Homo-oligomer: A and B are copies of this chain.
Amino acid sequence: MEREGYRVDIAYDGEAALELFANQKYDLVLLDWTLPKLDGLEVCKQIRQASRVPIIMLTAKGEILDKVIGLEVGADDYLVKPFDQRELLARVHVLLRRLPAGLAADSWLQYEELRLDREKLLLVCGEEAAALTANEYKLLELMMKKPHNVFARTYLYEEVWGEMPGYNDRTVDVTISRLRKKLLELSGKKYFQAVRGLGYRLGEQP
């Protein structure tokens, strides 16, 4: 998946999966059926309580009944092991293609009273809303997916602007500054903390 350009997090048991999912936002979930602690079926159910994110179930159990259960429980697709990598990629493609603008799964991201509308490119807080430019949006989306995480400037720059070579600029700072201004006007709060020598974080440190 990473070779195809996707960003990936991995959980090695069901509980870890749910915890990851609770703390960050994902565009798609690949879910094994047989997992330690909590099986994939249960994980799928619980994710479906909170989100409509696309879910693909992977499993060795080829019996038909299982497939039906998996799909009825809320999975969007189902692959039986051993599967072909290209088929997996093709199915991932299909599910992600359904998303408008190739941007995101859930139509909005939330952190505290901030809501980022991923379809309308809008930052909403209570009654008010502010427009974002493309780069501002990308940066904010990235950081709202993992609130409280510290992001290095170089990482932010790479993800939003691409490239790296000869990066000695204050581009990230300026964009953060503009975002801060918009956030401040909306909510009166300072959401971005600078982390000296590293970069930035959204929200306080836990």
Q: Please state if A149 and B119 are interface contacts (CB–CB under 8 Å).
A: yes
What is the minimal beta-carbon distance from A145 to any residue of chain B, in angstroms? 10
Q: Please state if A68 and B90 are interface contacts (CB–CB under 8 Å).
A: yes
**Integer count of this chain's copies in the complex:** 2
Tell me, yes or no, whether A15 is within 8 Å of chain B by CB.
Answer: no
A interface, size bucket: 35 or more
Task: Give the CA-CA distance A94 to B73 in the complex, in Å.
Answer: 10
Q: Please state if A101 and B198 are interface contacts (CB–CB under 8 Å).
A: yes
Contact status of A152 and B103, CB under 8 A, knowing A71-B91, A84-B64, A91-B71:
yes
Tell me, yes or no, whether A36 is within 8 Å of chain B by CB.
Answer: no
What is the minimal beta-carbon distance from A44 to any residue of chain B, in angstroms? 13
| B-binding segment of A16-24, A128-136, A168-176 | A128-136
Q: Please state if B122 and A206 are interface contacts (CB–CB under 8 Å).
A: yes
Q: Please state if B148 and A120 are interface contacts (CB–CB under 8 Å).
A: yes
Task: Give the CA-CA distance A107 to B47 in the complex, in Å.
Answer: 28
Q: Please state if B102 and A155 are interface contacts (CB–CB under 8 Å).
A: yes
With A64-B84, A100-B146, A121-B205 already in contact, 19 other A-B pairs whose C-beta atoms are closer than 8 Å: A64-B87, A67-B84, A68-B84, A71-B91, A72-B90, A76-B94, A77-B77, A77-B94, A100-B151, A100-B155, A101-B149, A101-B199, A119-B149, A119-B150, A121-B201, A122-B205, A134-B196, A134-B197, A135-B197
16 A-B pairs with CB atoms under 8 Å apart are A65-B86, A67-B87, A67-B90, A68-B86, A68-B87, A71-B87, A71-B91, A75-B94, A77-B94, A101-B149, A102-B152, A102-B155, A120-B149, A121-B198, A134-B195, A135-B197
Binding site for B on A (CB under 8 A): 64-65, 67-68, 71-72, 75-77, 84, 86-87, 89-91, 93-94, 97-98, 100-103, 119-122, 129, 131, 133-135, 146, 148-152, 154-155, 158, 195-199, 201, 205-206
